[in-house]
Amino acid sequence: MEARRLHRRCGVRASEHLRLEVIAAHCGATIDVARIDGALAQLVRRGRKVQILLADHVTDLAAQRFSIAHELGHLVLGHPTPQAVTAAKGAPVPAQERDHEEEANAFAAELLMPAAWLRHRCEVGPVGLDVPRQISQELGVSILASAIRFVELTTHPCAAVLSRKQVVQWAAVTDTFPHAITRGRTVAQTSAAGAFFTTGRAPEQPQRVAAADWVDAPSESVMVEHAAGSPELGTVISMIWPEGSGAAQCAA
């Protein structure tokens, strides 16, 4: 809601209006590059001056944009600083407390990838990475961010899974996806992500894979996986869905 309010305040109606330095200025903040250890960005308040510091080691444009939008979330949502930004990422938050990191991420996702612009495409588009790739190019976000957004907005059962060094780092699943994908699970060599870890390349087209490659399922059940690897980061993002539910073409 706050991100949408900010869109209205800043007159954002198309992707070219999503200029973060202008939006930050509307919120009374400047964006500066600085040397920061252990974080991508930081929100700093000195008296009435509000600064979003972007770490100088973050050179990827999409990562810069998401980091700035995340810090804007902390600012707009009135989160305390600097505790919110120095808290260890992934540290458990007591159930009764607000999770400021989750809130800032949700704010950033809506600010950069408004649901009103994308919901229809995610609902009717084929499951896979084609729509997230388009979103990533059009809105200047990473394929990771757009794949998670796809999972948030689609009605198809599917999961976006990030793996690294052949281990699942995290997974975003729709309410309709019939399985859990657990963090720390070893990526099967026979999966499309497994092909990236073995050969350095993920298949370009969606592949039929054994459901058991990703979830606890009977050996005969089949899923479809569309994977994209990042040689620089050594990571793979996989979109996974039950065969027959995603209306996407399958290569194998």
What is the binding site for Zn ion (CB under 5 A)? 85, 101, 104
Are 30 and 19 contacting, i.e. CB atoms less than 8 angstroms apart?
A: no
Closest separation between CB of residue 32 and Zn ion, Å?
17
Helix axis angle, 100-112 relative to 2-10, nearest 10°? 40
Q: What is the DSSP string of 117-176?
A: HHHHHHHHSPSSSHHHHHHHHHHT--HHHHHHHHHHH--S--EEEEEETTEEEEEEE-TT
Closest separation between CB of residue 53 and Zn ion, Å?
12
The amino acid at 47? G
Nearer to Zn ion, 41 or 224 (CB): 41
Nearer to Zn ion, 81 or 245 (CB): 81
Nearer to Zn ion, 108 or 209 (CB): 108
3-state DSSP assignment of residue 236: strand
Q: For residues 194 and 166, give the distance between their C-alpha atoms in angstroms, rounded to a whole number.
A: 7
Nearer to Zn ion, 39 or 222 (CB): 39
CB within 8 A of 168, min separation 6: which ones? 161, 162, 181, 182, 183, 184, 185, 186, 187
Nearer to Zn ion, 76 or 104 (CB): 104
Are 196 and 214 contacting, i.e. CB atoms less than 8 angstroms apart?
A: no
Closest separation between CB of residue 28 and Zn ion, Å?
19
Q: For residues 224 and 219, give the distance between their C-alpha atoms in angstroms, rounded to a whole number.
A: 14
Closest separation between CB of residue 84 and Zn ion, Å?
6
Closest separation between CB of residue 106 and Zn ion, Å?
12
Are 207 and 223 contacting, i.e. CB atoms less than 8 angstroms apart?
A: no
Closest separation between CB of residue 20 and Zn ion, Å?
16
Nearer to Zn ion, 16 or 37 (CB): 37
